[in-house]
Structure 1
Amino acid sequence: MDKQQIYQEVKAIMVKLFETNADDITLDAKLYEDLELDSIDAVDLVVYLQKMTGKKINPEMFKSVRTVEDVVNAVDQLLQNK
């Protein structure tokens, strides 16, 4: 899965879970400010990403995630660590 595919998956998850407008979900969109996610939403996102990747996500890794691109990069990194 390449970064573009990961981005499309993350975007689909965010539209489904948080009813976010797909046009608002750009790579540079800030999760908390632009997309108005809260900490509970972030936990829900991590749970879905774990299901998507089949990998356990270290919460420490997600503390630095601020944008959609950060999420894509974190998932890509998870998938590379097989």
Structure 2
Amino acid sequence: MQTREDIFNTLRDALVELFELDPASISLESNLYQDLEIDSIDAVDLIDHIKRQTGKKIAADEFKAVRTVNDVVEAVYRLVNPAA
């Protein structure tokens, strides 16, 4: 079972690797679109990366609702820990 902290660390590493972001600029409160300048194509790349990491796909409808890094962490947490 992955903790929220594990998911955040993995997600932060992915954002740094995929989009060349400064790790220090990424916090749970960071807005993906405003603070980190992730666009819709980047979001698709991020969903694909999450799928490769977890073996599970976040539903597009669920991802449309995410705004912050914490929203992504929570979505992935629910995905990998369905009983939680």
Q: For residues 7 and 57 of structure 1, what CA distance do their matches in structure 2 show?
A: 16
Gapped regions of structure 1 (runs ≥ 5): none
Letter in 2 for 1:42: A
Distance apart, 1:33 and its partner CA = 0.3
Which residue pairs with 1:2 in the alignment?
A: 3
In structure 2, stretches of 5+ residues that fail to align are none
Cα distance in structure 1, aligned partners of 2:25 and 2:43: 17
Identity %: 45
Cα distance in 2 for partners of 1:40, 1:56 equals: 16
TM-score w.r.t. the length of structure 1 is 0.96
Residues 48-69 of structure 1, C-alpha deviations (whole Å, 9 max, x = no match):
0011111122100101000000
Q: Secondary structure at the match of 2:57?
A: coil
1:25 pairs with 2:29? no
Question: Which amino acid in structure 1 is aligned with residue 77 of structure 2?
Answer: D
Q: Distance in 2 between matches of 1:56 and 1:37?
A: 19
Displacement after TM superposition at 1:4 (Å)? 0.2
Give the distance between the partners of 1:21 and 1:75, measured in 2 at CA: 22
TM-score (norm 2): 0.94
Aligned to 1:55: 56
RMSD: 1.0
Q: Could you tell me whether the CA contact under 8 Å between 2:47 and 2:57 is conserved in 1?
A: no
Tell me how far 1:14 sits from its aligned partner. Answer: 0.2
1:15 matched to 2:13? The reply is no
